[in-house]
Structure 1
Amino acid sequence: MNAQRPFNYPHVGATRGGTPAGFRHAHLTSRLGSGDVAFRTAVRVLENWNMQRHAGFRVDSHTPAPRAGLEVRLDPPIGPARWGSWCRVVYVVDEPDRRGFAYGTLEGHPISGEEAFVVERRPDGAVFGHITAVSRPGRWFTRLGAPVLPLAQRWMMGRYLDALAGG
């Protein structure tokens, strides 16, 4: 891995608030369950990259838990080829009742932007998953497919939330 690989978008941390001009904001929330077991299960799925695997991405089995600065290769679920879409974790959420992280796309990634994944346990014990994306097409071929990208992104977000719920 090359720690010097640049981000392919200028607004690192954009999922914390404020959508830059030219980018699309998407957010999806789902109730995952209730109680400590539901919270711990969702956090475990999040921290071992099984959320991405459930959505069809190939992630190296030796990839450590998300931490700021970690680069991860996510191979999209498109045929047998391995594309090598690289992302870097830009921040981690590590609070007693909120856990998660965000990663941003690096040079060469077909999408430009950031995704955040947060699991929240509310005072009543309800556990929710939140997925936030700030993105736009990053390569010529994704710009050609721009009209369908929001649908594909929403479908993928649903797969992520399904994984967090134990699906």
Structure 2
Amino acid sequence: MPELTYPQVGATAGALPDGYRHVRMQRTIGHGSDVFQRAADDLLRGEAQRRAGVDISLSQVPVRVGSTVEMRLPLGFVAFSAPCRVVWAERTPDRAGFAYGTLPGHPLRGEERFEVRLLPTGDVCFFITAFSAPGRWFTRLGAPLVRVVQTSMIRRYLGALVERPRDDA
């Protein structure tokens, strides 16, 4: 089994390591237990990535520690492969999520954590935490563009689980 491409496994759960770009973003995606349950189910099936336009394949559904995540991100006339391994996964009555770390062949080195929480107020919030650094020659060369693409993708992930009004007609 390929080894992760960074040594700070699990660091998205706390203080992010030096030497990487850090991202912490969140969005309220709805309100109430039903919204939380749907968002948790969707998150653990890779729907945030899929709805954001990423072709994703999971070795296990729902994801769990050790699951392999194979993603292909189309950018214009090319698509980038981004293999990862799940390093943390959890589901409780008010929290669900997973984190994956990069494997050889991924354009970046680092970890990304996706977490949905049902807050005491009833709000359902989606949190994404990441640390990354260029992992390939082309991501080192295009680092400013990579940061723009990464931020755009995180915003798309955050919007992917927003509760939409249901049409009962």
Query: Considering the TM-score relative to the shorter chain, is it more than 0.5?
Result: yes
Matched AA of 1:41: R
Change beyond 3 A, Cα 1:76–1:134:
same
- Where in structure 2 are the equivalents of 1:16-165 lying within 5 Å? 16-60=13-57, 63-79=60-76, 83-165=80-162
Over 6 Å off, 4+ runs: none
Q: Tell me which moved more, 84-93 or 129-138.
A: 84-93
Q: Deviations over 1:103-141 (max 9, x none)?
A: 000011101100000000011211100001111111000
Structure in which a larger fraction of residues adopt strand: 2
Unaligned runs of at least 5 residues, structure 1: none
Q: Offset at 1:93?
A: 2.4
C-alpha contact (below 8 Å) 2:58/2:67 kept by paired residues: no
Q: Offset at 1:162?
A: 0.8
* In structure 2, distance between residues paired with 1:24 and 1:62: 28
Q: Offset at 1:45?
A: 1.7
* Secondary structure in 1 matching 2:36: helix
What root-mean-square deviation, in Å, do the aligned CA atoms of Structure 1 and Structure 2 show?
1.8
Change beyond 3 A, Cα 1:94–1:28:
same
Give me the TM-score of the superposition, normalised by structure 1: 0.90
* In structure 1, distance between residues paired with 2:119 and 2:21: 28
Percent of residue pairs bearing the same amino acid type: 44
Q: Offset at 1:73?
A: 0.5
Give me the TM-score of the superposition, normalised by structure 2: 0.89
Change beyond 3 A, Cα 1:76–1:63:
farther
